[in-house]
Amino acid sequence: MKKVSVFSPKSIVILAVLAIVLSLVSSPVFALQAGTAKIDITPKKPVKMSGYGARKGLSTGVHDPLSARVIIFKNSGKRLVLISSDLLGYYGGTAEYMRKAILNEFQLKPCELFLCAIHTHAGPTLTIDKENGHPNNLEYTRQLKGKLIKLIRKGLSNFEPVQIGAGIGYSPVGINRRQLVFDNSGNSSIRLGRNPYGPTDKEVLVVKMTNNSGKAIAALVDYATHATCLGGKNLTISGDVIGLAEQFVEKILGEDVIAAAFAGASGNIDPWYRVLPKFNTEPGWIPEPVLLGTMLGEEAVHTFRNIDKLSGGGDIATAFSALELPGKSPNEPKIKKDAPTSRFNVTAARVGDIAFIGLSGEVLTEIGMAIKAASPYKHTFVITHCNGAHGYLPPEHLYIEGGYEISSSPFAPKAAGMVVKEAVKMLHEL
């Protein structure tokens, strides 16, 4: 009897397609991978410290170590490199100096790199100015470039599939610093102090990252405050409130966990205790940077532990925009019609349904809150001091009040609205 096959060529093709589909379902092509690393960047020699122009002396000691941390996401050939460094920022041309080296070394696109600083005012000044920079700071900056490259290389070497999720906590550590004062004649002005009724962004945004077995790998933390518990009289190296919060989170979650913190929109937000001359070692006293750093760190840990919805999927999308914004001369009350424009970088990224927006200046908190409110994502990390150091960016309505952030800004009043519009547009287009 002649045997007849029950499978026609058409049915064989259909079965083959079904087999492929089933294999894709059981083994996702779009599995998110990540690599992490941390490197010590504490200065080994006395250095000029950053953040206060009146401070001239070199550092005299170290209270707590400074670190640079990296989280690298990879999916379907796309990458996102997020660097948090315990520094004031990449001023004096050092942002492009570092970015150029990193982009070239790893063949990254500008939109794939977030080079960020936590804005501690108790760290070393970066400089590439051979004529005016202190030799120890020049050496430190050169070494930092090598360390950042080493950091990223290490992060790229330990990729593994990960699960991520995000959550929101709240902290009272930061307070609006634009204080209204009156002189003896009744004239008003805005000075740096405490304004408990002014706007603040209390959100502590946290990303939780684990491997596929559930082991914690990293925590990304975003909070809007200056790291200025310590003032210009302090000569001790420290990560200040944000750096100490990072160290606390790593201590509690485990030394293998990388806790990378980022400064949110905090141009007008200081810690509750601000510009103190030193760490208070009075018996029984908790030094204010430690107290506030611990408070922030505890809220980050609480938020981290409460995140229970994790995903192993999520594609990556990135974008970069270099804006030329209307400018003004710093410390001039009136804006000239022929004032040159000022540069400002906006970097946007998405990992699944978690968004990041990087801003290259000291952005006042109202601007960050406006971007979050208009973002299409539930969790949007607004990160300042990112991919540049382009000065204070205040919202338009504060120019009539004046004050330090306004007078020192290189931007005209309309600039902030342009940044918000561009950032939100980029987030929608990701």
pLDDT value, residue 298: 98
CB contact at 8 A, 192 and 232: no
pLDDT value, residue 15: 45
> Within this chain, do residues 113 and 157 fall inside the same structural domain, yes or no?
yes
Q: Which run of H or of E encompasses 251?
A: helix 240-253
| Mean pLDDT within 24-48 | 83
User: Domain boundary at 263, 280, 306, which?
Assistant: 306
Distance of CA 191 to the CA centre of its chain: 26
Task: Note whether residue 7 is domain-resident.
Answer: no
**In terms of residue numbers, what domain contains 333?**
316-429
Angle (CA) 353-375-209 rounded to 5° is 30
CB contact at 8 A, 178 and 195: yes
Task: Note whether residue 28 is domain-resident.
Answer: no
> Within this chain, do residues 137 and 262 fall inside the same structural domain, yes or no?
yes
Nearest to 140 by CA among 238, 39, 47: 47
| Mean pLDDT within 47-70 | 97
> Within this chain, do residues 269 and 344 fall inside the same structural domain, yes or no?
no
Task: Note whether residue 276 is domain-resident.
Answer: yes
Tell me, what DSSP letter sits at residue 398? Answer: G
Axis crossing angle, helix 415-429 with helix 365-374, rounded to the nearest 10: 30
Residue 17 pLDDT > 90 = no
> Within this chain, do residues 223 and 324 fall inside the same structural domain, yes or no?
no
pLDDT tens per residue across span 397-415: 999 999 999 999 999 999 9
| Mean pLDDT within 21-36 | 64
Residue 284 pLDDT > 90 = yes
> Within this chain, do residues 153 and 203 fall inside the same structural domain, yes or no?
yes
> Within this chain, do residues 195 and 81 fall inside the same structural domain, yes or no?
yes
Residue 16 pLDDT > 90 = no
3-class DSSP state of 244: helix
User: Domain boundary at 275, 306, 337, which?
Assistant: 306
> Within this chain, do residues 271 and 389 fall inside the same structural domain, yes or no?
no
Mean of all residue pLDDT scores within the chain: 93
pLDDT greater at residue 25 or residue 87: 87
> Within this chain, do residues 253 and 323 fall inside the same structural domain, yes or no?
no
Residue 311 pLDDT > 70 = yes
Counted domains in the chain: 2
CB contact at 8 A, 263 and 119: yes
From residue 253, how far is each of 155, 211, 219, 249, 298 by CA, in Å?
A: 20, 14, 9, 6, 11
pLDDT value, residue 4: 44
Task: Note whether residue 62 is domain-resident.
Answer: yes
Residue 179 pLDDT > 80 = yes
Residues 6+ apart with CB under 8 A from 25: none
CA distance 122 to 64: 10
pLDDT value, residue 10: 52
> Which segments of 3-134 does DSSP mark as H helices, in order?
9-26, 94-106
pLDDT value, residue 239: 98
pLDDT value, residue 333: 63
> Within this chain, do residues 162 and 270 fall inside the same structural domain, yes or no?
yes
